[in-house]
Amino acid sequence: LARAVTATDVAREAGVSQATVSYVINDHPSHRIAPETRTRVLAAVERLGYTPSAAARALRRGTTNTVLLVLPDVPWGPTLATLVDALTDELEPLGLELVTRRLRPGSRQGAPWKELRPLVVVCIMDPLAPDDEAEIREAGIPVVGALLSPVTEVDSTGAAQIVVGRLQVEHLAARNHTVIGYAAPDDVRVGSFLRLRLEGVRLACLELGLDEPRVIQVPLDARRAAKAVTQWRSRPEPVTAVCAYNDEVAMAVLAGLQRLGLSAPGDLAVVGVDNIPLAALMSPPLTTIDQNEQKIAHHLARRVISAIQGDPPPARLRSDALTLVVRESA
Amino acid sequence: LARAVTATDVAREAGVSQATVSYVINDHPSHRIAPETRTRVLAAVERLGYTPSAAARALRRGTTNTVLLVLPDVPWGPTLATLVDALTDELEPLGLELVTRRLRPGSRQGAPWKELRPLVVVCIMDPLAPDDEAEIREAGIPVVGALLSPVTEVDSTGAAQIVVGRLQVEHLAARNHTVIGYAAPDDVRVGSFLRLRLEGVRLACLELGLDEPRVIQVPLDARRAAKAVTQWRSRPEPVTAVCAYNDEVAMAVLAGLQRLGLSAPGDLAVVGVDNIPLAALMSPPLTTIDQNEQKIAHHLARRVISAIQGDPPPARLRSDALTLVVRESA
DNA sequence: CTGAAAGCGCTTACAG
DNA sequence: CTGAAAGCGCTTACAG
C-alpha cells in the first residue's frame, strides 16, 4: 500500500538532488560533500526512515553483497546449524550477507547463482555437480570450499571429513583395538558425509594394518542398537571398538550396551563425532571428535574475503579445528 | 568477468524482441505467443543458460518472491533448525523464498524489510519491537506469527511457549506432584523463550494451587547439575518433580541424579521440552513435550499464503502440534 | 562542491 | 500475434 521511501523523497525533503543523496549514503571517495549538506541529507534520511532498495542497488552495481551458501538436502544437525550461525556472524561485520540455499538434485530450481549474482559461492558438503561449479567459475564468481571437501580442507591429509574418520581410528588403535566396527546412521540423506567419514575410517584401518571396519546401521533406538552390539560382539573376532557416525548414533550404541547390561569402554569402546553439548552428559561421558565450528567458520570467512579481493587463498585450516576429546567411552 | 546472459541476448539468439522473451518466460496470460515462437525462445534460453536477474525483476515488479523470517539472536537449537528447514520446504513449491535474518538489538543493520521488500514477514520468538512491527504493517507488508507469540499461537490458551510450560505442569500435577522445580538453562541468549515457558509453568502452578516453581539454573555439567538436584531435594518441602527448559537441560538433571546415585522418576521426576531424537535414548527415557515442527511449519506456511492473498488467517494451529510424550522419567 | 543524465535488466500497458 | 518504449530506484562518470 504505502509506497516505499526512495532517494528522491529524501532529496526533496533535504532540498538537494537525488544524486547527492546517493553520494552521501555511499560516502563516495571522489565526491567531497559539504558537511552542512551532508548533515541535512542524513537528517532527512533519518526523518523519513529511508533505506536503499537492495534490488535497485544490485541492478545498478551489477553485483550484490551476498555470499551464497549452497548445501545438499541433508537434515540440519547441530554442527551445521552452528556453523551457518557462526559464518553469518563472521560475515555480517564485513557487510556481507549470507544466503543459504539447498540444492536438491531433482527440483529444477534454476541456478541460484545466476538469479542472485552473489559475490562468492560457499559450498559445504559437496552439493555442486562439476558442471555447476565450472559454470559458476566461468561467470567470474569464486567458489570456496569446493570439490569433495565438505566444510573445508585440512592440511594435506585431505578433506576434513576424512580426517574425522581417521582421528577416530587412530585413537582406538592407540588403545590396542584391532577389530573396529562402524555405526552408520539410519538416515539416507546424510549419504555424502557418511561416505567420507567412513572412507577416513577405512583408509586409517588400511594404513594401520587393521581389518576392514564392520559397518552396521544403527537406528536411534535402544532395542535395535542392542541388536547391532550383539552382532559386533559375535565370534569369531568380535569387534572391540566402534566408530560412530556422530554423537547421536554413539549414544544409541551406548543405550544398546546398557540394555544388554554391558558398558563402554570395557565391553565395547565407542567414539563419536561432533562433541554436542550432551556428549559430556552421557554415561559414560563420550569420547568424540570436536569440530570447532567457530574456527571453521572463521577460516571460511577468511577464504571468502580473499576470494572477493582476488588474493591467493589463506593457509589451510590448521588441523586444530578438529580435535579428539577423550572422555571415558573409549 | 564473463558478463551474465540477459534477456536481450536470448532475444538476439532467437530472433525476437526482448519483450517477447519476457512474455514467454512469464507465460503472460493476456499475451498469446505463437507456439513456434515460444519454442524458439525456450530453445535459446536453454542454449544460453539464461536465468532472469532477481534484482531487475524485483525492481521492476516492486516486490520480491521473498518471505523474510526474522529471529532474535538466539542459538540455533535442533527445534529451530528443523522448523526453518520445514518452512523452507513448505514455501519452495509455492515459489516463495525464505530468507532468514537475525535481529540484534544493538547492531544498526537497518531495516531488512525495507531493504528486501519481502512479501511477508514471519516473526518467530518475538524479535520485533512494537514500533518495527507497526512500521512493517504500514508499508503494507503482512506480519505473521506476531506479538508475543513465538512460533505461533495455539488455541485461545495463549502463546505456544506458554502452553509448553502448562503441559509440563499438568502432567506432573496429574501424577500427584505438588512441589515443582524449574531447571533453567545457563545461556542468557534464550531469554524470551525461557520467560514464556516459565510463565506457562507459573500460571499452571497458580491455577492448580501449587507453590511457585523453584527455579534453579542448571548448566550442562553433571557435577553442577547434581548440586541443583541437592538443592531441590533439601527440606522442608523438597521438590519432587522438575520441569526442564528443554531436553538438554533435562539430560543434565538426569546426569546429576545419576551422579548422586539417584534416579528419575523415583527420586525426582523430570520432564523436558523438544523431544529431540536422543530423548528416547536417555536413561531413563525422557518424558517430554514434542513440538511438531512439520505441523507448525505447515501452519505457518498457510498463514503466509493467506496473508499474501489478503484472505483472513486460517484457523489457529490445532493444539495437537504440541503433545506430551510420556516415557519413563516422569 | 553539486547536479543532470545514462543505464543496470527486467515487466507490462499500449500500439500496431 | 509481436514489438517499441517507459520506468522501477539506484550509482557514477561527466559537466559545470
What is the DSSP track for B157-186?
TEEHHHHHHHHHHHHHHHTT--SEEEEE-S
Position B260 confidence tier, pLDDT thresholds 50, 70, 90:
very high
Interface test with A, best of B132, B218, B281 (most A CBs within 10 A): B281
Closest Cβ–Cβ partner in B54, B102, B107 for A116: B54
- Å from A55 (CA) to D9 (C1')? 8
Over residues B201-230, mean pLDDT: 95
Closest Cβ–Cβ partner in B1, B117, B220 for A277: B220
Give the three-class secondary structure for B273: strand
CB-based contacts of B279, cutoff 8 Å, min separation 6 = B247, B250, B272, B285, B286, B288, B325, B327
Closest Cβ–Cβ partner in A78, A254, A255 for B78: A78
Residues 232-291 of A with CB under 8 A from B: 248, 251-252, 254-255, 258, 277-278, 280-281, 283
Residue B147 has a pLDDT of 35
Position B171 confidence tier, pLDDT thresholds 50, 70, 90:
very high
Q: What is the mean pLDDT of chain B?
A: 86
Over residues B188-207, mean pLDDT: 84
Q: Residue A283: closest CA among chain B residues belongs to which residue?
A: B255
- Please indicate if any CB of chain B lies within 8 Å of the CB of A186: no
Q: Which of residues B287 and A73 earns the better pLDDT score?
A: B287
pTM equals: 0.81
Is the separation of the CB atoms in A123 and A102 below 8 Å? no
How many helical (H) and strand (E) elements, i.e. helices and strands, does chain B have? 12, 12
Grid cell 553439548 — which residue? A277
Name the nucleotide nearest A114; use CA and C1': C9
pLDDT at B228 over 90: yes
C-alpha separations of B205 from A3, A58, B202, B211 in Å: 49, 54, 5, 6
Interface test with B, best of A221, A278, A328 (most B CBs within 10 A): A278
Cα B12 from Cα B6, distance rounded (Å): 10
Residues 135-194 (B) near nucleic chain D, CB < 7 A: none
pLDDT at B132 over 90: no
> Do strands A214-217 and A241-244 pair parallel, antiparallel, or not at all (unpaired)?
unpaired
Residue A188 has a pLDDT of 73
Residues 100-119 of B with CB under 8 A from A: 100, 102, 107, 109-111, 114-117
- Please indicate if any CB of chain B lies within 8 Å of the CB of A134: no
Does nucleic acid strand C have an atom less than 7 angstroms from the CB of B12? no
Is the separation of the CB atoms in B232 and B214 below 8 Å? yes
Closest Cβ–Cβ partner in A4, A111, A117 for B114: A4
Q: Three cell numbers at B277?
A: 531424537
Position B85 confidence tier, pLDDT thresholds 50, 70, 90:
confident
Does nucleic acid strand C have an atom less than 7 angstroms from the CB of B59? yes
Residue A159 has a pLDDT of 63
End-to-end C-alpha distance for chain B, whole angstroms:
63
Does nucleic acid strand C have an atom less than 7 angstroms from the CB of A16? yes
Q: Which residues of B touch A10 (CB under 8 A)?
A: none
Amino acid sitting at position B140: G
Residue B109 has a pLDDT of 59
Residue A273 has a pLDDT of 93
Give the three-class secondary structure for A183: strand
Q: Which of residues B321 and B237 earns the better pLDDT score?
A: B237
Name the nucleotide nearest A28; use CA and C1': D12
Residue A131 has a pLDDT of 81
Residue B107 has a pLDDT of 55
Q: Residue B68: closest CA among chain A residues belongs to which residue?
A: A99
Residues 195-234 of A with CB under 8 A from B: 220-222
Within 7 Å of a protein beta carbon, the nucleotides of strand D are 1-5, 7-14
Is the separation of the CB atoms in A104 and A73 below 8 Å? yes
A69: closest CA among A181, A166, A151?
A: A151
Residue A155 has a pLDDT of 41
- Please indicate if any CB of chain B lies within 8 Å of the CB of A1: yes
Does nucleic acid strand C have an atom less than 7 angstroms from the CB of B18? yes
Q: What is the pLDDT of residues B298-330, one digit of tens each?
A: 888 888 888 888 888 777 766 677 899 999 999
Does the beta-carbon distance from B281 to A222 stay under 8 Å? yes
Does the beta-carbon distance from A117 to B92 stay under 8 Å? no
pLDDT at B133 over 70: yes
- Å from A313 (CA) to C10 (C1')? 36
Residues 89-148 (A) near nucleic chain C, CB < 7 A: none
Q: Please list the ranges in chain A whose pLDDT falls under 50.
A: 146-158
A289: closest CA among A156, A120, A165, A187?
A: A165
Position B153 confidence tier, pLDDT thresholds 50, 70, 90:
very low
> Do strands A120-123 and B269-273 pair parallel, antiparallel, or not at all (unpaired)?
unpaired
Q: In this structure, is the dihedral angle defined by the CA atoms of residues A98, A99, A105 and A109, taken in order, positive or negative?
A: negative
Q: What is the pLDDT of residues B102-128, one digit of tens each?
A: 887 655 556 888 888 899 998 887 667
Does nucleic acid strand D have an atom less than 7 angstroms from the CB of B27? no
Side-chain half-sphere exposure of A139, counting CA atoms within 13 A:
28
Does the beta-carbon distance from B111 to A248 stay under 8 Å? no
> Do strands A287-291 and A214-217 pair parallel, antiparallel, or not at all (unpaired)?
unpaired
- Å from B31 (CA) to D3 (C1')? 12
Does the beta-carbon distance from A111 to B51 stay under 8 Å? yes
Q: What is the pLDDT of residues B27-67, one digit of tens each?
A: 877 777 788 888 999 999 999 989 899 999 999 998 888 99
Does the beta-carbon distance from B51 to A114 stay under 8 Å? yes
Q: Residue A142: closest CA among chain B residues belongs to which residue?
A: B1
Q: Three cell numbers at B30?
A: 493476456
